[in-house]
Structure 1
Amino acid sequence: MAEQVQARVEKAISDCVTELDTQYIRKMQGDMYRCSARCCDNTSSNMEEAQRCIERCSQPLQRAQNTIQTELQDYQERLQRCAVQCQDDVKDRLSPGASSQQIDALRGEMESCLVKCGDKHIAILPAMMKRMKSTLSQYQ
């Protein structure tokens, strides 16, 4: 059951990243390359000016990629904290001489807790996407 929820979380994240890529990142990459090409086409600038121009062209895309990376990292950390909390809750209830029935019951509770973590974190993806889209639209 936990594997199924993990697969659902991974697919939801993948879908979000794909959406951000197609709606924002690819356009920004194209803009960056076109801008960089104009820098290179400018024969009146010296080598250092051309390099600075190219670096300026890449800044919006770099900021966008950093935004996405930071949001996804924060999301992963939150999901991991939730899973660790499930483990801690079960561990705290595990007694040294626990029977196999008690262990099985705790294992079931752990699975249920992990499913809730996954569901909760899938549910927060729309708000995270809205935040990222708002930020990315400022970089265009």
Structure 2
Amino acid sequence: MDENTNLEEQRERIENALISAVDDMDREHLRKLQLTMHACAKRCCADMDASAEAVQRCVDRCQLPLTRARCYVQQELAEFESQLEHCMRQCRALASDGGGDAAGGRSDRCSLECVDRYVALLPELLSTMRMALDKGL
């Protein structure tokens, strides 16, 4: 297997794991918040005595929990990706410092270990995120 294929497979593994994580968070938490937001906004709009400004403020308040939750999920996943990228950069530095084919092999193994380690960390991250979302942040 050549280096590009191996790196592409690693990227695909991480991408699939992250897509799955985002889908899980969406199904388990964000959609419920979205339903709640829309029900709340519907109540705001149903108040025929309220001014347009008051209705808009009400709708904006309804959106806050979902907006906070989405930002939280995005921040956590961005931090995860940043840490993974740092690990991968360290592996690339290993290859550039060592030189030769042996260093390239060490770099590939190192990169694979990064991917394995971070994919294995995803369930723990998701669990932490679920608990935070369950508490309402």
* TM-score (norm: length of structure 2): 0.90
Identify which of 77, 96, 100 aligns with 1:91: 96
Would you say the 8 A contact 2:94–2:103 is kept in 1?
A: no
Alignment of 1:1-140 (within 5 A): 1-94=6-99, 103-139=100-136
Identity percentage of aligned residues: 33
Structure 1: 5+ residue stretches without partners: 95-102
* TM-score (norm: length of structure 1): 0.89
Quick one: which amino acid aligns to residue 104 of structure 1?
Answer: D
Take 2:96 and 2:90, find their aligned partners in 1: how far apart are those partners? 10
Equivalent position SS for 1:124: helix
Supply the RMSD in Å over aligned alpha carbons.
Answer: 1.3
Quick one: which amino acid aligns to residue 107 of structure 2?
Answer: M
Aligned residues between the structures: 132
Structure 2: 5+ residue stretches without partners: 1-5
Structure 1 segments of 4+ aligned residues over 2 angstroms from their partners = none
Which protein has greater RCO, CA pairs closer than 8 Å, 6+ apart? 1
Take 2:72 and 2:127, find their aligned partners in 1: how far apart are those partners? 13
Would you say the 8 A contact 1:61–1:139 is kept in 2?
A: no
